Amino acid sequence: MFGLGSSLLRDLSKYSDEEYERLVWQAKVRRGDAIWVIPSGVGLLAGGLWVGAAVLMHMGMMRAVPTWAAPSLANFGVINAIVALCVAVAAGMAVRWWMIVRSIRRIVNKAGCPYCEFSLVGLRVQNGWVRCPECGQRVYLHEHRLTEDDLIPEGGWYRPIEGAGPRGAYLDPGRA
């Protein structure tokens, strides 16, 4: 919906249907009551804004159009109430989807930078912290409930090619 989760959906294609459902469930549980309260509030706000705009529009029409040609307040109100309900539901669903996608991203990318969400996987820990290569912030693992094991890549640590130096080329563990 609106491209908010398209990159996430590509990333989740490696998971089975059961694992995907588990991730969605975890995201919903992680957000708790906010998964309904915040979208409901946004929906009510969007619907209220629509009603306010409709009232202003009706008042403008009453001034500009002769009274015999202006739509009746009842017809105008019913139509705009239905549209306001649709706007409220659509806004609430969009915010709810965005919140679930954001939670799934954080679950999947557990070892992400808390400042920019860049993956910290593969970085070496120095005295209990790592520096994010994207934003440059110092991330203390204990403050963000991370361990050194959370930063180990799926295939394990890469070993350097002989003679490459401390920051040189690395071999893929699958090819080594």
Q: What distance in Å separates the CA atoms of residue 117 and residue 105, rounded to the nearest whole number?
A: 9
Which range has the worst mean pLDDT, 61-75, 84-98, 101-115?
61-75
Q: What is the DSSP letter of 168?
A: S
pLDDT bucket at 82, cuts 50 / 70 / 90: very high
Global model pTM greater than 0.85: no
Helices marked H in the chain — which ranges? 6-11, 17-31, 34-64, 73-108
Question: What is the average pLDDT score of the chain?
Answer: 77
- Percentage of residues in the chain with pLDDT exceeding 90? 15
Angle between helices 34-64 and 17-31 (to 10 degrees): 70
Any residues with CB less than 8 A from the CB of 134 and at least 6 apart, and which? 113, 116, 118
How does DSSP classify residue 72?
A: P
Q: Average of pLDDT values for 25-43?
A: 85
d(CA 73, CA 134): 56
Rounded Cα distance between 24 and 149, Å, is 24
Least trusted range by pLDDT, from 67-71, 83-87, 124-128: 67-71
Q: Are 129 and 138 in contact (CB under 8 A)?
A: yes
Higher-scoring residue by pLDDT: 158, 10: 10
Residue 87: the pLDDT is 94
pLDDT band at 124 (very low <50, low <70, confident <90, very high): confident
Task: Decide: 133 and 123 in contact? Cβ < 8 Å.
Answer: yes
User: Over the stretch 138-165, which tens digit does the pLDDT of each residue have?
Assistant: 888 888 777 787 777 666 555 555 655 5
Q: How far apart are CA 43 and CA 87, in angstroms?
A: 7
Q: What backbone phi and psi angles, to 5 degrees, belong to 65? A: -105, 140
Mean pLDDT in residue range 41-68: 82
Question: What residue has token string 């993956």?
Answer: 119
Chain centroid to Cα 29, Å, comes to 15
**170 pLDDT higher than 60:** no
Q: What is the pLDDT of residue 84?
A: 92
